[in-house]
A and B are shown apart, each in its own frame.
Chain A
Amino acid sequence: MTTKKHNLIDQRLQDLNDDGVDRRGFLKCMAWAGTGLVWTMSGGIPASRAFAKVYGKHAGKGGDFSFVQISDSHIGFSKPANPDVTATLQTAINKINAMPQKPDFIIHTGDLSQLSKPSEFDTLDQALKGAAAKQIYFVPGEHDMLSDNGEEYLKRYGKGTKGSGWYSFDHKGVHFVALVNVANLKAGGMGSLGHEQLEWLEGDLKGRSASTPIVLFAHIPLWTIYPDWGWGTDDSEQALSYVKRFGSVTVLNGHIHQIMQKIEGKVSFHTAMSTAFPQPAPGTAPSAGPMKVPTDQLQRVLGITDVNYLVSGSSLAIVDSPLGDSGSSASGSGRGLAVVDSLLG
């Protein structure tokens, strides 16, 4: 297992080498990710600001839609990295509400709260009530499952879900699967889906047409980014084996508070920025704790992710936008989704 993970990282490094980026360059790119710019890990994912053009051309066609991913709001956190996480969540919501095309819904990829406190969930709910998209889909982060095996989280967000909160739904021809990889974690391990959930996932996907675009979302990355910090999911490979036959698979995660992406076969992986505080690029700090940046820089490293599904070409576009800058970075494989990450400000 460990060797496999290392191979994966080596593969990523190799991909970068093929792109003319050496190992030092790789680390530099990782540092950029920490300051909110997109880096692409392998060929096939153009990182550019050209997405708006593409988006504009295709916007409005029947069946096209977009949704927004927000992540890691950590309501209740009040340390120097960001003493007012409620305000930055509000900024993120304002940004969503200002989008030219209203998203059909929002997904929150976990760590809604800092300590799973009812008051923290209340604050989050109150803020999200102001979002233009009324439908919000959640998955828990490890911070949301801190009390009584996630009872408080499940009471609020787990209606109609299975096990520790997993479920699936369809939207305009795209099949979405919300997975939970933060429950019942084992000593020494990383994220974990567990046998029961994997079995459910296999059954959930069975019988679906291979041409159905699939979106998997979960808190901890479903690909191994940095095992030393637990940035991966021990049994994600089994989950991914169930989606291999599908033509377009997009995996959206949070947890690491920075953008990372890669494409492996027909599967595009993408992690989102936090709305609360940044975390260091892998291995660049003694631990994965909150990264302190100058106050005027904070919104440049927080953001939201806009995912656009274009029926023409059956592709999804993902755009990451920082909260604190008008800039955004787009990526798309031309086959899958396009993701746009936006900074908060």
Chain B
Amino acid sequence: MTTKKIWIVGLATTVMIALMLLAETPSVAANDQPSGASADVKIDNFSFGPQTLTVSVGTTVVWTNRDDIPHTVVSTDGVFKSKVRDTDEKFSYTFTKAGTYPYFCSVHPKMTGKVVVQ
């Protein structure tokens, strides 16, 4: 296999991975430097854990509802908004810009959390 072919295969793989990521996270914005990293927030007992999550730019955060009751994940500043998530359903969002993103559950607004993107 020539060097050129390897390069093409490598490029194709990268594109495929990028497409897969895009397919799984329709709310994703164009990434300047996709890190491809992911981080988890669990919804348990009407609370987000961890309540404050710190990630690097390009990280996809995945929220999973583990309660018997539906919840939502809604950015306080209107940056992202999930549909209602029932038990074991997930929501993900890829953070492409540094900043602090406070969010809450619009069904149970006492539930709040934030993502700090560095």
Q: How far is the CA of A147 from the CA of B84 in the complex (A)?
A: 8
Contacts of B70 in A (CB 8 A): 114-115, 143, 146
Residue pair B76, A187 in contact (C-beta under 8 Å): yes
Residue pair B68, A81 in contact (C-beta under 8 Å): yes
Contacts of B104 in A (CB 8 A): 187-188
Q: A residues 135-174 with Cβ under 8 Å of B?
A: 142-143, 146-147
Q: B residues 34-86 with Cβ under 8 Å of A?
A: 45-47, 67-70, 72, 76, 83-84, 86
Residue pair B107, A143 in contact (C-beta under 8 Å): yes
- Indicate whether A229 reaches chain B with its CB closer than 8 angstroms: yes
A274 to chain B, nearest CB (A): 13
Chain B interface helix/strand/loop/mixed: loop
What is the total number of residues of chain A having a CB less than 8 Å from a CB of chain B? 24
- Indicate whether A288 reaches chain B with its CB closer than 8 angstroms: yes
Q: A residues 248-290 with Cβ under 8 Å of B?
A: 286-290
Q: How far is the CA of A142 from the CA of B108 in the complex (A)?
A: 8
Residue pair B68, A190 in contact (C-beta under 8 Å): no
- Indicate whether B27 reaches chain A with its CB closer than 8 angstroms: no
Q: Which residue of B lies closest to A227 (CB)?
A: B110
- Indicate whether B87 reaches chain A with its CB closer than 8 angstroms: yes
Contacts of A286 in B (CB 8 A): 45
Q: A residues 96-146 with Cβ under 8 Å of B?
A: 114-116, 142-143, 146
Residue pair A289, B67 in contact (C-beta under 8 Å): yes
Q: A residues 220-270 with Cβ under 8 Å of B?
A: 227-230
Residue pair A289, B87 in contact (C-beta under 8 Å): no
Contacts of B99 in A (CB 8 A): none
Contacts of B109 in A (CB 8 A): 185-190, 230
Contacts of B83 in A (CB 8 A): 147
Residue pair A290, B69 in contact (C-beta under 8 Å): yes
**Most-contacted residue by chain A among B72, B103, B109 (CB, 10 A):** B109
A83 to chain B, nearest CB (A): 12
- Taking Cβ atoms with an 8 Å cutoff, the residues of A that contact B are 79, 81, 114-116, 142-143, 146-147, 185-190, 227-230, 286-290
Q: A287-B45, A287-B67 are in contact. List 14 more A-B contacts (CB 8 A).
A: A114-B70, A142-B107, A146-B72, A146-B84, A185-B107, A185-B109, A187-B112, A188-B112, A190-B109, A227-B110, A229-B110, A289-B67, A289-B68, A290-B69
